[in-house]
Structure 1
Amino acid sequence: MNRAAVAIFLVVLCSGCPKRIEFGPEGELTDADTVYQRVVKNQENVVTLEGDAKLRAELPDQSGTLSMFIAVTRPAMLHLETFDFFNRPLASLVSDGQRFGLYQADTNTWYQGPASPANVSRFLPVMLPGEELVPIMLGQVPLIPPERMTLELDRKKGVYVLTLHRGQATQVLDVHTKYLRIMKSQVRGIPGYDLGFEDFLEQGGLIFPGRVSLEAKQAKTKLQVRYQQIKLNARPDLTLYELVPPEGARVVEVDEAGRELPAGAPASGSSAPLAPGS
């Protein structure tokens, strides 16, 4: 057998080999509820994040990448700023969990009102409430309350596959076998979005994904946040969440549906958020 044939044989042979799987200190887990409880616990250990990131957005009519500063604190406090290629500010979003403020630099306009999904989506093109967006940016997955669950070990992919069932809805979770952190979430049976977590890093004893992606297939929208220099679980700077319009900016009050209100009018309206899924 010549060298070329040997090389081809080895490639074919190795492609069929099972992936080496590294488990945590408990070894291989076979109980679905045990994996579920570990996942829930490991998701809850990050409560604040502050630092720099790259935001990649793919929309039906455009796509691009922006630099972004992020500060988030559970349960729903947000401070996001985007910058162009020349590091000039484009927009900023602030929310204390109840109300939001959005500044758009190109029009020197400050929008403020309830922190509803419709208003948060003025900054990010997904209809999510802050109390759902913040955990996602902290590397956490909103989980459907399971009525039952099943567990498999996918040796080819090297992950646990934990499936949650509730009525007609299912949520399939790819779980890291060592860190017991969710790497992928897909929900079927209800509308919503899929989530992916990659490039896990360790900081201060915490395991955290360096890349978070969200795909809303119905809206043909993909978002990806790639973290660069961040701090986890530091004491939050509460001044970042103060809703103060920039001096000289035009202030516009909006209702829950994002409709502009005349001066002095009370906010009203409603907007329903997406459920996790695709």
Structure 2
Amino acid sequence: MEIRPINLLIFSFGLVLTMTIMAPASIHDQSPLSQPDSQTKNDLSFPALMNRLAILNEPVSREGAGRLVVQAPGERYSLQFRLLAKGPEALRLEIFDPFGRPMLYFVSYLGETRLFSIAQKKEIPFNSSLFGPWSAISQIPIVEMLKLFWGRVPLFPYDTYKLDIGQEEEKRVIKLFLLGNVQQELWISPDPFSLTKVRITNPSKEGEIEILFSDFSEVTGNQTPMRCEIKDGPGEHVLTIRYETLVLRPDISDEIFKFSGLSDSQSTGKEIIP
């Protein structure tokens, strides 16, 4: 029973990437980006929007805690999490079972991602056997998935695009279509600027996924979603990331992202995170 929530959680994260694993590198790496000035913030042209999407929610050192609600046919788990991060490339995620007992540590640091099982008191090999039907998740950088904690999604190369500006519930909404090997539809609220919904379809694979961002807060200085919901097309598999607390932590040290000493901490009982 104890390992099933872990596998289900990993499977659900894999769902996010199943539609995108065949895509080339993200467009984030194609050209340097700049922070928008006051004039750019009113610019709703395609280049300006793509620039703002790419820099949406710049990493700010933070500590957060909340719930990971994992759903699959016939199963539902509400797990607790604690996040300490400087950004997607320096992140430590602790996952606890429904009773608050530590289950899993997930560390991403300097391009390396590692898992540590608290119950088994050992590192879990990060290989495709963990991901079951989404085994191909191991073929792309896990950091793409971790951007969800910042209200970001991967942005993939496209052949054509379409931009619509309309009204929904008396609010101006921008709908952006990126059409390529991976097709993306993005819903954007221009004032304040926030990404609220994404639909991702990979024609070479079955189905689609939706990512919904909501409950925005400016605790980090920009529009940070306190809730993220990821679901497949039929809605059978759903992962909800819900922050209950989120605070700035400029004092976070890189030492907490280093994996050495985790095994020793389990035998000595020493606290490994301040």
Correspondences of 1:206-225 after superposition (within 5 Å): 206-217=222-233, 220-225=236-241
Find the aligned partners of 1:126 and 1:186 in 2 and give their Cα distance: 20
The residue that corresponds to 2:101 in the other structure is 88
**CA 1:188–1:204 in structure 2 vs 1: closer, same or farther (change >3 Å)?**
closer
Structure 2 residue runs without a partner (length 5+): 1-37, 268-274
Q: Is the 8 A contact 2:86 2:252 kept in 1?
A: yes
**CA 1:89–1:189 in structure 2 vs 1: closer, same or farther (change >3 Å)?**
closer
The residue that corresponds to 1:37 in the other structure is 51
Task: State how many pairs are aligned.
Answer: 221
Q: Give the C-alpha shift of residue 25 in structure 1.
A: 8.4
Q: Is the 8 A contact 2:183 2:200 kept in 1?
A: yes
Cα deviation, 1:176-220, whole Å, max 9, x if unaligned, reads 121222111112234474321101111253221111122244994
Q: Give the C-alpha shift of residue 136 in structure 1.
A: 1.6
Q: Give the C-alpha shift of residue 58 in structure 1.
A: 0.9
Q: Is the 8 A contact 1:100 1:120 kept in 2?
A: no
What secondary structure sits across from 1:37 in the alignment?
helix
**CA 1:51–1:44 in structure 2 vs 1: closer, same or farther (change >3 Å)?**
closer
Q: Is the 8 A contact 1:97 1:131 kept in 2?
A: no
Q: Residue 147 of structure 2: which of 135, 138, 154 is its match? A: 135
State the one-letter code of the partner of 1:38. R
**CA 1:34–1:108 in structure 2 vs 1: closer, same or farther (change >3 Å)?**
closer
Q: Is the 8 A contact 2:209 2:231 kept in 1?
A: yes
Percent identical among aligned pairs is 20
Find the aligned partners of 2:41 and 2:255 in 1 and give their Cα distance: 45
Find the aligned partners of 2:112 and 2:54 in 1 and give their Cα distance: 28
The residue that corresponds to 2:190 in the other structure is 177
What secondary structure sits across from 2:259 in the alignment?
coil
Find the aligned partners of 1:99 and 1:71 in 2 and give their Cα distance: 16
Structure 1 residue runs without a partner (length 5+): 1-23, 251-278
Cα deviation, 1:33-78, whole Å, max 9, x if unaligned, reads 333233323x152344322111111123521111110123434333
Give the TM-score, by structure 1 length.
0.66
Q: Give the C-alpha shift of residue 175 in structure 1.
A: 0.1
The residue that corresponds to 1:108 in the other structure is 121
Q: Is the 8 A contact 1:76 1:130 kept in 2?
A: no
Structure with a larger share of its residues in helix: 2
State the one-letter code of the partner of 1:200. F
Cα deviation, 1:81-117, whole Å, max 9, x if unaligned, reads 122343221222223244443232333333256xx6x
Q: Is the 8 A contact 1:57 1:64 kept in 2?
A: yes
**CA 1:90–1:215 in structure 2 vs 1: closer, same or farther (change >3 Å)?**
same
Larger radius of gyration between Structure 1 and Structure 2: 1
The residue that corresponds to 2:264 in the other structure is 247
Correspondences of 1:178-217 after superposition (within 5 Å): 178-190=191-203, 191=205, 193-217=209-233
State the one-letter code of the partner of 2:153. V
Is structure 2 residue 70 aligned with structure 1 residue 53?
no
Correspondences of 1:116-135 after superposition (within 5 Å): 118=128, 127=137, 129-135=141-147
What secondary structure sits across from 2:158 in the alignment?
coil
Give the TM-score, by structure 2 length.
0.66
**CA 1:164–1:100 in structure 2 vs 1: closer, same or farther (change >3 Å)?**
closer
Q: Is the 8 A contact 1:94 1:240 kept in 2?
A: no
State the one-letter code of the partner of 1:54. R
**CA 1:246–1:175 in structure 2 vs 1: closer, same or farther (change >3 Å)?**
same
**CA 1:199–1:98 in structure 2 vs 1: closer, same or farther (change >3 Å)?**
same
State the one-letter code of the partner of 1:209. P
